[in-house]
């Protein structure tokens, strides 16, 4: 896998909380475009907007008005269980068998929250090759003593806000 160059500013960039879906999309587009400019030899596939599924997922989890149906918010316990379950895929040694088990567990956890399950499906499971690449990257980073996804390790969850009760 080719080394991607990033500045400390890009490396440490964190999406601010409380952004609208559109603001999140713009933030991520700008972020990926900045990385592309530093790495002209690498095709970041900007035109595909590959990050949209993840942004939609975070927005669906955080949103005060879910736009795809009458489902209620995830309660704190369910959100915690969804986060813990999802993070299993990004642990050392995780593979496609882990992803399959996580997918089934999420389907059970999110009964009644189909919009969130669909966003997770699009974000995490739509591309098996990408999932395998992410898991390989995790192994490489751990082998060199690096934290694979420092932002994920800090956050330890999906979404950035707790829903209004």
Q: How far is CA 150 from CA 59, 69, 138, 153, in A?
A: 21, 34, 11, 5
Instruction: Please tell me the pTM assigned to this model.
Output: 0.56
Give the pLDDT confidence of 122-134 residue by residue, as tens digits. 878 877 777 777 7
Give the pLDDT confidence of 26-68 residue by residue, as tens digits. 998 898 888 888 888 888 777 777 778 778 777 776 663 444 4
């Amino acid at each position: 896998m080719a080394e991607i160059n990033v500045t400390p500013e890009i490396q440490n960039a964190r999406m601010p909380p409380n952004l609208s879906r559109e603001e999140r999309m713009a933030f991520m587009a700008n972020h990926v475009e900045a990385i592309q400019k530093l790495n002209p030899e690498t095709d970041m596939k900007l035109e595909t907007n590959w990050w949209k599924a993840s942004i939609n997922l975070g927005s669906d989890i955080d949103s005060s008005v879910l736009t795809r149906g009458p489902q209620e918010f995830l309660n704190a316990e369910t959100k915690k269980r969804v986060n813990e379950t999802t993070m299993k895929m990004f642990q050392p040694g995780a593979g496609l068998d882990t992803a399959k088990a996580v997918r089934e567990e999420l389907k059970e956890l999110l009964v009644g929250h189909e919009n969130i399950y669909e966003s997770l499906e699009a974000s995490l499971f739509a591309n098996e090759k990408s999932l395998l690449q992410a898991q390989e990257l995790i192994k490489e980073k751990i082998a060199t003593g690096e934290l694979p996804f420092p932002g994920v390790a800090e956050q330890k969850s999906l979404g950035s806000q707790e829903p209004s009760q």
